[in-house]
Structure 1
Amino acid sequence: MTDTIGTVTDVGSERTPNVIAAEINMIKFQAERVYLAAAVEIGRRLTEAKALLKHGEWGKWLEESVDFSQSRANKMMRIFKEYGAGQLSSSNSDFNPNLNYSQAVLLLGIPKEERAQFIVDMDVEGMTIQELRQAVSERTQALQEKDQALEVNADLQKTVEDQSCIIAGLTEELDNLKSQLENAKTSKAELAKTTRHLKDSLESLQQSSSAKGYERMKRNFTNTSLKVRANHIAFLCESLDETIKEVKHKLLQIAPNDKETYIIYKNKVYDLLKMWLKDETWSRQARPGGDAQ
């Protein structure tokens, strides 16, 4: 190293501040270059020693044997891991950047898989430490923004998937309601068809049967009509029961997240039930001679 420094000093006959600065910077670069190689070798040996020590002995060994803190040792081992696998040797790799220690440490802030391309793109060897620090900071910020954008995109994708599930559920529920409505329409149509058939039979018997037979058939028709109406009422009661159960189920579903809506429609159901129970038509129709509807 002394020979190298002597050679730089002998260049040029005129000593100027710029020449002296160039010599100082060259010496600094060479010293840090040597220090980087030394740090790699120290990191190599620290890695080897840690693998040999028992659990719990690492910190004590560092303090007593080499006077290193764990933080400094970890830094050296990372330098070995990142730069010690032949990366600084042109015989082992086509990519052989001429880095010094300060540059190598700053470049630890760049992901390993992107570091080689970053060195080429930014011409790191020709940058000052301050310029490199700024470039690494900007790249780190760009990577963070990229990660944040990916995270936001993932959240949006999840939201879209959740909304799709909700839409699918609502669509299925709508299809079920449509099916129930169709069943109700079919039952009502069947009842109407049966009623028309009975009326047609009665009219036919009125025209072809004796008065006694007509009265008997009239009674049969009346009884049958009552049964049909009773069945219709049973169907309506069953539908009403299912509807009330469905309303109750839906209200209990939304109660945890929409208490206001839950209370409004729960009270509305109570009010309807009270109104129906207070309707005097129920009592009046139950009396003898009450008007039939």
Structure 2
Amino acid sequence: MLIYKQQTAQNIIEIGKRLIKVKESLPHGEWGTYLKEKVVFSRQSANRFMQVAREFSNCSALSNLQPTKIFALLDVPSEEREDFISQSHEINGQTKTVDEMTSRELQKAIKEKKQLEEQVRIQKESKYYNKTIMSYLRSFKLRL
């Protein structure tokens, strides 16, 4: 079973690579027709396969992951992805690795990561604006 699981990740990458080659070889405007008639993929599905091929072709950590997890990991920035996969995450009060999580738990962990990053960004901006305003007020007070 593990061999088939590993092959699934490899097959997703290979399908993506082949889709990239075909898309590059087709005349402009023929991609949608090709997808509909030859491979029965939506554009969105084809784009996800191609994105996996581009971003995961050298990632050995995918070999044990289900396709839904592989596609979910596309939402983690590529420069952070390997660390994210190798680390444990707290999900519903339990510490789990990406491999141990369900697909829903992984999606939740990714969403929580993004929310935390957004909160940090907002706090940094808020501190910057507060300093700027205080500096402006001080300079204004000095002029009076």
TM-score scaled to structure 1, two decimals?
A: 0.39
CA displacement 1:29-78 (0-9 Å, x = unmatched): 65443222111111111122222333333222222232221111111111
2: CA distance between counterparts of 1:36 and 1:63? 23
Give 1:1-293 correspondences, 5 Å limit: 27=1, 31-84=4-57, 86-88=58-60, 96=61, 98-100=63-65, 101-122=67-88, 123-156=97-130, 159=133, 163=136, 167=140, 171=143
CA displacement 1:109-145 (0-9 Å, x = unmatched): 2221111112222132333434333322321221222
Between Structure 1 and Structure 2, whose CA radius of gyration is higher? Answer: 1
Counting strand residues as a fraction of each chain, which structure ranks higher? 2
Corresponding residue number in structure 2 for 1:279: none
CA drift of 1:165 comes to 9.9
* Residue identity opposite 1:108 in structure 2: L
2: CA distance between counterparts of 1:154 and 1:54? 50
Counting helix residues as a fraction of each chain, which structure ranks higher? 1
Residues 148/55 of structure 1: CA separation in 2 closer, same or farther (3 Å cut): farther
CA drift of 1:160 comes to 5.0
Residues 31/159 of structure 1: CA separation in 2 closer, same or farther (3 Å cut): farther
Residues 112/160 of structure 1: CA separation in 2 closer, same or farther (3 Å cut): farther
Residues 166/114 of structure 1: CA separation in 2 closer, same or farther (3 Å cut): same
CA displacement 1:210-241 (0-9 Å, x = unmatched): xxxxxxxxxxxxxxxxxxxxxxxxxxxxxxxx
Q: Is the partner of 1:148 in helix, strand or coil?
A: helix
Corresponding residue number in structure 2 for 1:205: none
| Mapped contact 1:40–1:77 kept (Cα < 8 A) | yes
Q: Is the partner of 2:87 in helix, strand or coil?
A: helix
| Aligned pairs, number | 135
Corresponding residue number in structure 2 for 1:208: none
Structure 2 unaligned spans of 5+: 89-96
Residues 140/47 of structure 1: CA separation in 2 closer, same or farther (3 Å cut): same
Corresponding residue number in structure 2 for 1:194: none
Q: Is the partner of 1:51 in helix, strand or coil?
A: helix
Percent identity of equivalent pairs: 30
Residues 158/137 of structure 1: CA separation in 2 closer, same or farther (3 Å cut): same
* Residue identity opposite 1:106 in structure 2: A
Higher relative contact order (CA 8 A, sep 6+): 2
